[in-house]
Amino acid sequence: MKRHQSRLLVIASVLGMLLLVPLSWLLPFPHGFSKPPVKPDEWVQETPTIRTPFSPPNGGREIRSLSVHPEGNDWLFVECARTGDNRCDVMRYQWKTGKLYRYGLPTGYTYPYAHYSPQGNYIVMSRRRISGHSDDEQRRSLDAMQILLMRSDGGGLEVLPLARGNKLSPFMSRDESRIAFWRTGRILPPGQRLGLLDFDIWEFDRAHATERPFAGIFKFVSGGQAQYLSGDEILFRTFGPAGHLWSYEPLYGGSRIHRMRRGDTRLPEPHVFSGIKYAEMPTMDRAGNLYLWGQTPRYGLSVIRIETGGQRSAWQPGVRFVPQELICDPAGTYLATIYWDQPMDVTNRPGGLAMLDIATDTWTAISLPLWRDAETIPVSTSACGMHNGAQGCSINSRSD
């Protein structure tokens, strides 16, 4: 049963990453961290695990791109309409008060990804024009995709001066001086659900208004959740490249966690954790503790914490809980997650929000207010120009 569920999750990830939006998000660790495959007679590290049965109710919401403000109370995510124009809005939820907010961003666009900056001063997001449903219209909309930056209070909204092309899931460096994002190099031919392939991480320098690949061009099969670990290192989740997928199971135990340094031209290998298979959804707190979703021989799929000293702990919620995204509170006091509704629908991805209190080993399903009941946060645009005097363009500029 455990092996069957793991294989279903892998299949769901591959199907999801081939759809236009949303992307299936996966992450990387660096060359020096990868280890050879474990031999049968080698010692396997145990992962102390607490059984925490959790069967959250179906949330019925199409939400994704979850991030947590550094003060710990505010969650940022994107919610997409399941009817009409399928517009995605940037939402802000305060879990201590239960209040839901929606940013009043310019209409005529959909905002499929948004994240808080590590210091919480900014929100960086992707947007594209709402288009028709034909392949040609979708392709034009993708090619004109933009990345926007605004203050967390909704002020100073601006478009970054980036080259044309599909730009997804931006995130900021710890000092907020750079913005990294996934750029795709290929769209499948018409009639194949307009899938995206050949993902690489690019980086925008705010001071100089320049963009370039963060490291080499590797053409990963998918992009995924990512974060800066330092000024020159990124943690992320991914599959690929396509020619290497066959080796992920026998060599790396199905791990999708990577780590990569700026300028490294060597293909990053997935990080292997002794006694853990199918490791994915990595997220790291300020103290350097790593959290992930993975499978251990004794307990199956669990949320796992690996401390900086190597000590482990895990929470096994049972088969009724399957996360889409997993994000730690920067202080390391809880984990926020978007979970799949059951049965899983990999096309529409309905789900809900939940959190795990690490001190009490307790899961809680979030009763999220309805989209229509959200309070609107006004958004104001910046004057033409980028921060620090670099040349830019106004929010109303068009790339199509």
Contacts of 136 (CB under 8 A, 6+ apart): none
- State the pLDDT at residue 107: 94
Q: Closest Cα partner for 265 from 230, 218, 231?
A: 218
Q: Which candidate, 42, 50, 52, 109, places its Cα nearest to that of 78?
A: 109
What integer pLDDT is reported at residue 15 of this predicted model? 42
Give the three-class secondary structure for 244. helix
Question: Is 271 within 8 Å of 29 (Cβ atoms)?
Answer: yes
**Phi–psi pair at 218, nearest 5 degrees:** -110, -15
pLDDT along the chain (400 residues), means of 10: 50 43 34 40 84 97 97 98 85 98 97 98 96 77 91 98 94 98 76 67 98 96 94 93 78 94 95 96 98 97 98 97 97 98 87 98 98 97 54 40
146-151 β-sheet, strand order: 109-116, 122-129, 146-151, 158-159
Q: Are 284 and 227 within 8 A, CB to CB? A: yes
Query: In this structure, which amino acid lies at residue 85?
Result: D
In terms of C-beta density within 10 A (0-12 exposed, 13-18 middle, 19 or more buried), how is residue 259 classed?
A: buried
Q: Determine the 3-state secondary structure of 395 from DSSP.
A: coil
Q: What is the DSSP letter of 246?
A: G
112, two tokens? 């499929």
pLDDT at residue number 197: 73
What pLDDT is attached to residue 161?
97
pLDDT of residue 134: 76
pLDDT score of 397? 35
**Which residues neighbour 335 within 8 Å (Cβ) at sequence distance 6 or greater?**
283, 291, 303, 326, 327, 328, 329, 355, 356, 358
> Any bridge partners for residue 258, and if so which?
29, 236
Q: What is the pLDDT of residue 195?
A: 64
Tell me how far apart the alpha carbons of residues 153 and 221 are, in angstroms, rounded to a whole number. Answer: 36
CA distances from 67 to 71, 150, 306 (A): 12, 15, 20
In sign, the C-alpha dihedral spanning 299, 301, 305, 309 is positive
The torsion angle over the Cα atoms of residues 68, 257, 22 and 134, rounded to 10 degrees, is 150
Architecture, CATH, for domain 2-381? 6 Propeller (2.120)
**Buried-state track 101-124, b at ≥16 Cβ within 10 A, e below 16:** bbbebeeebbbbbbbbbbebebbb
Residues 30 and 268: their CA atoms lie apart, in Å, by: 6
Quote the CA–CA distance of 265 and 297 in Å, as a whole number.
35
Distances (CA, A) of 146 to 181, 183, 273, 321, 392: 11, 11, 37, 34, 13
User: Can you say whether residue 150 is alpha, beta or left, with left for phi > 0 and alpha for psi between -120 and 50 degrees?
Assistant: beta
Residue 140 and residue 308: Cα distance in Å, rounded? Answer: 45
In the chain, domain spans? 2-381
Q: Do 187 and 198 touch, CB atoms closer than 8 A?
A: no
Which pTM value belongs to this model? 0.86
